Amino acid sequence: MRKIFALIGMGLFGFAPLQAQLDTDADFKRKVYDRAYTGGISFTSRGYALNGRYLKFLDGYNAAGLEIDLVKIRHPKETISSEDIFNNYRGFVKGRINSFYSLRAGYIHEHIWFDKTDQGSVSISYIWSGGLSLGLLKPIYLSVDEFGDDGDFFTNIIRYTGETNPANINGEANFLTGIEETKLKPGVYIKGGVSFDYQLLDDKITSVEAGVIYDYFFTEVPIFYEADRDINWSGFFQLYLTVNFGYKLN
């Protein structure tokens, strides 16, 4: 009977640390965490984004969960000329009639390719995600200086159509101007990338991620004045670079 209790005791005390650690290819014992939370900022070939992620660890090498991105998507023709800089136009881009943002929400999966061989080394993971992309198309309003019929000088707020460039432009009006006219552009997205986690502490995350994204919206997204019907489209291919910070919990 004593042998039986001894075996049970060894099993209980021996099993507890096994739940907190995992044998891997690394030279040290990796702690098995239950979930992770990260947030970061992305720079893309079409703009920038803020993101947040929740990941549930499936085992020592795989995690899955939810990600949310708030994205600013620019058209390739969005350039500010030297004339614009010289005249100090606030955010004004010739031909851009709408600002375009997207709120992405989707499923994400991470798989560790190369584990950390020692604390303080780098792990490499492959990450893919996909889901819904809700586009927000907001019209551009400009602040312009005008002269009235009586010769008085005043500032006027006008909707920019792109057909002609008004004289005496101060720049774009307040961001909230015209926000009630925002149109929804539903779509989908898919993303794939490689992440390098170089955080020294095992329960923290500091990573750099690089990859590609494709957003597809079900209708055309008119960011620019459509004198040329070929300059606006519904799909946006982007390269991205993200810096993520977060932590892991049991």
Residue 152 lies in a domain: no
Tokens of 36: 């992770």
The winner for highest mean pLDDT among 63-72, 152-161, 230-239 is 63-72
Residue 26 lies in a domain: yes
CATH number, domain containing residue 58: 2.40.160.20
Question: Model confidence at 84, in pLDDT bands (50, 70, 90)?
Answer: low
At residue 170, the pLDDT reads 84
Q: How far apart are CA 96 and CA 75, in angstroms?
A: 9
Q: Chain-wide mean pLDDT for the chain?
A: 83
At residue 171, the pLDDT reads 84
Residue 151 lies in a domain: no
Return all residues near 168 (Cβ < 8 A) that are at least 6 apart.
144, 145, 146
| Per-residue model confidence as pLDDT tens digits over 30-54 | 677 899 999 999 999 999 999 999 9
Residue 9 lies in a domain: no
At residue 205, the pLDDT reads 93
Residue 170 lies in a domain: no
Tokens of 126: 């492959």
Tokens of 192: 């794939």
For residues 125 and 154, the model is more confident at 125
For residues 51 and 7, the model is more confident at 51
At residue 22, the pLDDT reads 44
| H-type alpha helices, the chain | 2-20, 82-87
At residue 155, the pLDDT reads 87
Place of tokens 């005008």: 146
Question: Model confidence at 114, in pLDDT bands (50, 70, 90)?
Answer: confident
At residue 6, the pLDDT reads 45
Residue 51 lies in a domain: yes
**Residue 191 structural domain:** 19-77+95-139+182-249
| Per-residue model confidence as pLDDT tens digits over 194-229 | 999 998 888 899 999 999 999 999 999 999 887 666
At residue 203, the pLDDT reads 87
Residue 243 has pLDDT above 90, yes or no: yes
Give the rounded percent of residues in the chain with a pLDDT score beyond 70: 78
At residue 226, the pLDDT reads 77
Instruction: Look at the chain and report how many structural domains it folds into.
Output: 1
Q: What is this structure's pTM?
A: 0.80
Residue 167 lies in a domain: no
* Residue of 9, 15, 98, 22 lying closest to 59 (CA atoms): 22
Q: Is 17 helix (H, G, I), strand (E, B) or coil?
A: helix
Give the rounded percent of residues in the chain with a pLDDT score beyond 90: 54
Residue 104 lies in a domain: yes
Report how far apart the first and last C-alpha atoms of the chain are (Å, whole number).
Answer: 36
